[in-house]
Homo-oligomer: A and B are copies of this chain.
Amino acid sequence: MAARGGIDLGGTKIQAVVVDAASSPVGSARGPTPESGGPRAVTAALAETLSEAAGKAGIETSELAGVGVGSPGEVDAGSGTVAQARNLPDWKAAFPLARELGDLVGTEVRIGNDVQVATDAEFALGAGKPYRSLLGVFWGTGVGGGIVLDGSPWLGRGAAGEIGHMVVKIGGARCTCGRRGCVEAYAGRGAMELTARRRHKRGKKTELFAIMERRGRTRLTSGVWAQALADGDKMATKLIDRAVEALGAGIASAVNLLDIEAVVIGGGLGVRFGTEYVERIRVAMMPHVFVSERPPPVLLAGLGDLGGAIGAAMLVDAGERVRARRRTAAVS
């Protein structure tokens, strides 16, 4: 099989890869997600980042066997459109992302749900390989989830996996989705930034925004949070502690409901913070796990930062092939 492209479209950054037949990256590139300009600006940035990754692999994007995009929002894989992408600029109405991006890169584009393709990649190639059922938790701008049950993705009526909007505190903090007490209201990078800005404005001390400016950023990226934690910043520490607590409770709720074999933690913050925080999340989960004598392992995403993009590339034909291989292996 020829090389394929995969793009992970996140709220802060765009990660593109070009992979070979074994889904191993042979070129990758990363760029910031545009903060304005709507779907067209985002689509142009996707094409540019993919082009850079292809350049590193020594080919043109038009030579790729196809390109997959893992997108937030309401993804209609059939029609190739994305709607209601809350963490992207002015992206409400359905936008024909597959067609528009296909025109720019000169090859066929398939789209899928960002967290589901990342979960599929972890299941097929990453930390989820030894298991048949899996909860993927992607801790970044939002908190997304993907589910694999008995070897197959569980999508429900198309919107399953919203672990970020499970309720962990009735009447609790306002979430960026408008509801109250969601996991994401405490753990989403976007929600944490809003809380930090509000508290900072009220005169509470924090180095978060000074670090942000020193790094030439306009948002509290994962790197900014990591630096503030390393510096012992009190507000950052408190907000991240609260995030870990909410993630632990939400994951425990999902474990109690589904009794899955393993939990994999990925996403911008998850991957940046690494094993130490995965362990903290596991510890926060434990007091709420109903069958406490056999909790599922909580694992760091094996594909790191690239899982979403690799999973997106798997949308191009290989996805079903890899899963079929897993199924055969499990049966034999």
A: residues with CB less than 8 A from B are 133, 145, 147, 149, 154-163, 165-170, 172, 177, 179-182, 245-246, 249-250, 252-254, 256-261, 287-288, 290-291, 294
The answer on a CB contact under 8 Å between A154 and B249 is no
In the complex, are the beta carbons of B157 and A261 less than 8 A apart?
yes
- Which of B165, B258, B291 has a CB less than 8 Å from the CB of A290? B165
Of B159, B163, B168, B258, the residue contacting A170 (CB under 8 A) is B168
Smallest distance from the beta carbon of A157 to chain B beta carbons, Å?
A: 5
Provide the bound-state CA to CA distance between A179 and B149, in Å.
27
- Inter-subunit contact B257/A159 (CB<8 Å): no
Report Cα–Cα, A164/B234, bound state, in Å.
36
Chain B residues with Cβ below 8 Å from A288 are: 165, 167, 179, 181-182
A154 touching B149, Cβ below 8 Å: yes
Minimum Cβ distance to chain B for residue A172 (Å): 8
Please indicate which of the listed interface residues A154, A254, A256, A260 has the most CB atoms of chain B within 10 Å of its own CB.
A256
- Please name all residues of chain B whose beta carbon is closer than 8 Å to the beta carbon of A180 when the two chains form the complex: 287
A-B contact pairs, 28 of them (CB 8 A): A149-B149, A154-B258, A155-B259, A157-B259, A158-B259, A159-B259, A159-B290, A159-B291, A162-B256, A165-B256, A166-B166, A166-B257, A167-B249, A167-B250, A167-B253, A168-B168, A168-B169, A168-B170, A169-B169, A169-B170, A170-B245, A170-B246, A170-B249, A181-B249, A181-B288, A182-B288, A253-B253, A257-B258
* Chain B residues whose CB sits within 8 angstroms of the CB of A260 once the complex forms: 156-157
Q: Cα distance A162–B255 when bound, in Å? A: 9
Does B160 contact A259, Cβ atoms closer than 8 Å? Answer: yes
User: Judging by beta carbons under 8 Å apart, are A160 and B258 in contact?
Assistant: yes
Known contacts A156-B133, A290-B159, A294-B157: A166-B259 contact under CB 8 Å: no
Q: Name the distance in Å between A227's Cβ and chain B's nearest Cβ.
A: 28
Contact residues in B for A287 (Cβ distance below 8 Å): 179-180
List B contacts of A165 (CB < 8 A): 256, 288, 290
With the chains together, A250 CA to B258 CA distance in Å?
14
Contacts of A154 in B (CB 8 A): 149, 258
Residues of chain B contacted by A147 (CB below 8 angstroms):
257-258
